[in-house]
């Protein structure tokens, strides 16, 4: 299941899930382009982690909500690596700039969500695909519950953008299949060291208690390394027949039925 000697570009990889993905691919011998927007120190820290794992890479500043930044980023990858084997679209927009309920959301806030998620994936794949050859891998990081449920009302912009992203995964999977490139999405469950940490402490505590009490059957929250493991699997040669899929990496949380109390579900 070797990906030794491959080259990857991971957006939003200075922290959180993106960092976990970058470090896991580095362990496997992948050279990594680490994208960040504001926190250069965190990006350099991730690059240090990549090097500690025996690989190498570079950091690239880019705002993925701006198509011209994406094009510039891919050009830098081409100049540094000469080619690209893996593109992971992970960067998350500034959620709290468009964290509004449906009746309060402005068109400008809607655009921020779509530009940083759906449009970023559209342009990112179009640009990255110029460098990716047969056997290449494209992976999007999404959050499926936000696109198919509606109880988390202020998540409407982000959830809708993620739903659009998942749809594009299927379209691009068909478009690139003839070139031997797979396109998939991973939907992580609630994960430590991610957007969870930006929520108020009382909310974090409530979420952790809920999942540890049984909503996640495996009895813990996810970690960035869990997501990194799943990306590494999809990037392997053995995963070459998997494309156009949205794969839950959530310890079984998506298998639970919200119609019944936990004590009934768990017997």
Contact 77, 70 (CB under 8 A): no
Q: Among 28, 112, 155, 201, which one carries the catalytic annotation?
A: 155
Please tell me what DSSP assigns to residue 259: T
Q: Any residues with CB less than 8 A from the CB of 242 and at least 6 apart, and which?
A: 182, 184, 234
3-state SS, residue 113: helix
24 catalytic? Reply is no
3-state SS, residue 253: helix
Q: Among 6, 31, 112, 162, which one carries the catalytic annotation?
A: 162
Alpha helices, H only, 140-257: 144-148, 156-177, 201-210, 224-235
Burial-class residue 196 by CB neighbours within 10 Å (0-12, 13-18, 19+). middle
Report CA torsion sign: 89, 245, 229, 128: negative
Query: How far is it, in rounded angstroms, from Cα 84 to Cα 131?
Result: 5
- Tokens 């382009």 -> residue: 33
99 catalytic? Reply is no
Active site residues: 155, 162
């Amino acid at each position: 299941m070797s990906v030794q000697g491959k080259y990857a570009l991971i957006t939003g990889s200075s922290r959180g899930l993106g960092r976990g993905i970058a470090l896991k691919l580095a362990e496997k011998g992948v050279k990594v382009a680490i994208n960040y927007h504001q926190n250069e120190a965190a990006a350099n820290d991730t690059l240090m982690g990549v090097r500690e794992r025996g690989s190498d890479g570079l950091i690239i500043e880019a705002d993925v909500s701006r198509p011209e930044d994406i094009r510039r980023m891919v050009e830098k990858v081409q100049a540094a690596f000469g080619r690209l084997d893996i593109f992971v679209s992970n960067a998350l927009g500034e959620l709290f700039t468009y964290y509004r309920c449906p009746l309060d959301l402005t068109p400008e806030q809607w655009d921020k969500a779509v530009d940083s998620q759906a449009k970023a994936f559209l342009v990112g794949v179009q640009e990255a695909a110029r460098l990716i050859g047969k056997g290449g891998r494209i992976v999007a990081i999404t959050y499926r519950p936000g696109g198919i449920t509606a109880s988390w009302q202020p998540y409407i912009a982000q959830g809708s953008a993620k739903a659009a992203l998942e749809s594009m995964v299927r379209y691009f999977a068909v478009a690139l299949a003839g070139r031997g490139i797979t396109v998939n999405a991973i939907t992580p469950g609630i994960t430590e060291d991610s957007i969870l940490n930006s929520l108020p402490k009382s909310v974090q505590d409530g979420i952790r208690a809920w999942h540890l009490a049984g909503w996640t059957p495996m009895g813990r929250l996810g970690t960035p390394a869990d997501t990194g493991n799943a990306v590494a699997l999809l990037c392997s040669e053995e995963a070459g027949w998997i494309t156009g899929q949205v794969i839950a990496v959530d310890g079984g949380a998506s298998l639970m039925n919200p119609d019944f109390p936990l004590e009934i579900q768990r017997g």
